[in-house]
Amino acid sequence: MTFEQWRQQAGGTVRFFSLGRHALVEALKVAGVGPGDAVLLPEFICRDVLASLHALGARPVWYAVNESLAPAVQQDAWPAARAVVAVNYFGFPQRLAPFRAYAARTGAVLVEDNAHGFLSRDDHGQWLGTRTEIGIFSLRKSLLLADGAMIRCGMNGFADRLSAPLAEHGGGYAPAVAVKARLRRLPVGGPQVAKAATTAIRLLRQWRSGSSVLGDDAEAERVIPAPAAPHLGLQRELAAFDPEAEIARRRTAYADVEAFARRHGIRPLFPALGDATVPYGFAFRADDAGRQTMQGWAARRGFDVISWPALPDEIAGRVADALRDIRLVNFL
């Protein structure tokens, strides 16, 4: 299977952007969201998603999420909104029945946030991000790209509302990632060279700013930090990409880390990996000792252990500890 074959299977109409935040702006426009409109979001979401709402003058309203990352209350208790966002966390399919019921009851437009789930399918074999009329993808979270995101619309009128395609332009939001990808492809010692380069960059960042990772602040809730157009060469890179190899790599990595975690009494967030799930990473809960154990395993294989998400200021104080404790072995 090639990327173009995936597109044909997915159907609908697509547009490409630099970041998922721009794709979400387009999704909300297509859904008819404008100034003052409410958009219903989960209380477990990255704060930078709010920048997409801010771009349209829209406002967030919230539904609670339980420890399994499903809605914590019945949909008839959710606040009214012009659009509702369902998230496929870490590449695992979200159950859409309550969202469909909410949309049918209120007239809200359902958007499937599949930023983590490119190449994943649900138990019925349907590609995540294509199960609703509007789906968004953050390709750069699945592949080593300077940037890349996508919106896919079905054929029930929403595709007609899409903006014209954007021409590829520039070096991308994160050109260093493209350099890292080229290093990893070196015929001799590629992964080791890429890991050494990443370590050097983080040490330099630590020396300059006091932190080895990029900072996060409230500005992320208001500003999307890149032009909307995808970087020059995105389509060429997607054409050269081997989806089947990436599916196998991620599923193998998940099986390896899950076996290690269970041997050390570390609980995976999801009880099982579905037959068609392509995981963004391995999500787990553990105490400090367990986290250190997982960090050691990940480091030996060139992976990071990260905390996700950086929560919006408005809701950070009311999110349960069980959600704050989630960590992820990031397979990118």
> Using one digit for the tens of pLDDT, what is the confidence trace for 251-271?
999 999 999 999 999 999 999
Compute CA distances 183 → 37, 131, 189, whole Å. Answer: 45, 36, 9
Per-residue confidence band for 242, with pLDDT thresholds at 50, 70 and 90: very high
Compute CA distances 179 → 163, 172, 175, 176, 186, whole Å. Answer: 31, 12, 7, 5, 11
| Other Cβ atoms within 10 Å of 216 Cβ, number | 13
pLDDT at 191: 66
Q: What are 136's strand-pairing partners?
A: 113, 151
Q: pLDDT by residue (tens digit) across 292-317?
A: 999 999 998 889 999 999 999 999 99
Contact, 231 vs 171, CB < 8 A? yes
Residue count of the chain, please give it.
332
User: From its phi and psi, is residue 129 left (phi > 0), alpha (psi between -120 and 50) or beta?
Assistant: left
Cα 324 to its chain centre, rounded Å, is 18
- The C-alpha atoms of residue 63 and residue 44 are separated, in whole angstroms, by 9
Q: What are 259's strand-pairing partners?
A: none
Strands (E), the chain: 13-17, 38-42, 59-63, 83-87, 109-113, 134-137, 149-153, 267-268, 281-285, 304-307, 327-330
pLDDT at 206: 57
Lowest pLDDT segment from 132-136, 175-179, 243-247: 175-179
SS3 61: strand
Per-domain boundaries in the chain: 3-161
Radius of gyration of the chain (CA): 19
Q: pLDDT by residue (tens digit) across 279-288?
A: 999 999 999 9
19: its two tokens: 């970041």
pLDDT at 141: 93
Rounded average pLDDT over 170-192: 76
Mean confidence (pLDDT) of the chain? 92
The pTM score is 0.92
Q: pLDDT by residue (tens digit) across 196-236?
A: 766 776 666 556 655 445 556 779 999 999 999 999 999 99
Per-residue confidence band for 178, with pLDDT thresholds at 50, 70 and 90: confident
Compute CA distances 233 → 13, 17, 244, 332, whole Å. Answer: 20, 12, 21, 20
Instruction: Using a pLDDT cut of 70, give the percent of the chain over it.
Output: 90
Q: What are 330's strand-pairing partners?
A: 281, 304
pLDDT at 278: 98
Flag whether pLDDT at 115 surpasses 60. Answer: yes
Q: pLDDT by residue (tens digit) across 58-80?
A: 999 999 999 999 999 999 999 99
3-161 CATH = 3.40.640.10
Return all residues near 38 (Cβ < 8 A) that are at least 6 apart: 58, 59, 60, 61, 79, 80, 81, 82
Instruction: Using a pLDDT cut of 90, give the percent of the chain over it.
Output: 82
Contact, 181 vs 240, CB < 8 A? no
pLDDT at 313: 95
